Amino acid sequence: MSWPTNSRLLASTPTRRTDPVLGVAAAQFAPTDDRARNLAEIEGLARLAAERGAGLVVLPEYSSWFVPELGPAWLDHAEPQSGPFVAGLGRIADDLGVHLVAGMAGVSSEPGKVSNEVVAVAPGAGVVATYRKLHLYDAFGGRESDWVEAGDLRDPQLFEVSGFRVGLQTCYDLRFPEVTRWLVDAGAEVVLMPAEWVRGPLKESHWDTLIKARAIENTVWLAAADHPPKVGVGHSMVVDPMGVQLASVGEEPRGVALAWLDRERLREVRTTNPSLRLRRFRVEPGPPATD
């Protein structure tokens, strides 16, 4: 497949420090109801990022298969992690030598529902971490729980790339600060977030504010990949531990935001802002609050 000429890559300047660095890319595209087409888009974006030095690429929520309205068709297109979508991700990761993280419609154990999943695939190793969406989007007029099974509260699965420990969450989880703190308590230094952040009044502002807040309060890098308009707000981005937006795609229909991460920056930020060390509360998974 030839790559469209209107695709672009926005990148921060590579660090010149002596610590190991990691190129992280947030890739933005509009998944469709055609798995093969989605994989071709993913391959093009991942290749673009890899050619510029990325070793880790995060893609949107429901990258495997997507239509704007949840319904019975989703049940027919949900896949196990042993299915063709994850196999396709593995082939791309192997070919390009990059780690890929993508959302997918997975098979649920609950009849009549799908599982909103995120998979991390490493070159030569296959799936190295998985995540199931904890908080379902029953807000702003949506009813995700009618068709999606919530993930279990279990210890987070982290994976390592170039010495950086990476955690996973997705979309609506961004509105719950406990999720990111839970990942950081497990050792995450980089948090990746596939999303399908639905457009609406003030939604773009919420997206920008909450991504930067989660990065600042946890002193971690956060890379978020969204669907572009008209369904999502776009603005896939990479943010540093001080909340500085290093790169963003904006409203483009497809593109890659690439930034370089280095451990010296993390040490500097956590020395200047030792909020994790000074906090007096901890986060523990538990039952939902009652009305």
pLDDT tens, residue order, the chain (291 aa): 444 445 567 666 665 555 669 999 999 999 999 999 999 999 999 999 999 999 999 999 999 999 999 999 999 999 999 999 999 999 999 999 999 999 999 999 999 999 999 999 999 999 999 999 999 999 999 999 999 999 998 889 999 999 999 999 999 999 999 999 999 999 999 999 999 999 999 999 999 999 999 999 999 999 999 999 999 999 999 999 999 999 999 999 999 999 999 999 999 999 999 999 999 998 888 776 665
Contact predicate 164/189, CB 8 Å: yes
Catalytic residue among 43, 61, 149, 204: 61
Which residues, in sequence order, are CB contacts of 236 under 8 Å at separation 6+? 26, 27, 28, 60, 224, 225, 226, 248, 249, 255, 257
Exactly one of 43, 117, 149, 171 is catalytic; which is it? 171
The first and second tokens of residue 250, run together, are: 């904006």
| Confidence (pLDDT) at 285 | 82
Which domains does the chain carry? 21-278 (3.60.110.10)
Q: Which residues of 160-180 are buried (b: 16+ CB within 10 A; e: fewer)?
A: ebeebbbbbbbbbbbeeeebb
- What is the amino acid identity at position 198? V
How many Cβ atoms from other residues are within 10 Å of residue 271's Cβ?
10
Residue indicated by tokens 């509105």: 175
Q: Give the pLDDT of residue 4.
A: 45
Quick one: pLDDT at residue 58? 98
Q: What is the pLDDT of residue 101?
A: 98
What local confidence, expressed as pLDDT, does residue 287 receive? Answer: 73
Quote the DSSP letter at residue 57.
E
**At 158, is the secondary structure helix, strand, or coil?**
coil
- Which of 41, 113, 133, 204 is catalytic? The answer is 133
Alpha carbon distance 183, 206 (integer Å): 21
pLDDT of residue 157: 96
pLDDT at 20: 67
- DSSP class per residue in 98-116: -EEEEEEEEEPSSTT-EEE
- For residues 77 and 4, what is the distance between their CA atoms, to the nearest angstrom? 27
pLDDT at 289: 64
Is residue 268 annotated as a catalytic residue, yes or no? no
Phi-psi region of 171 (alpha: psi -120 to 50; beta: other; left: phi over 0): left
CA dihedral 33, 35, 37, 41 (to 10 degrees): 110
Q: Is 196 a catalytic residue?
A: no
The reply to whether 61 belongs to the active site is yes
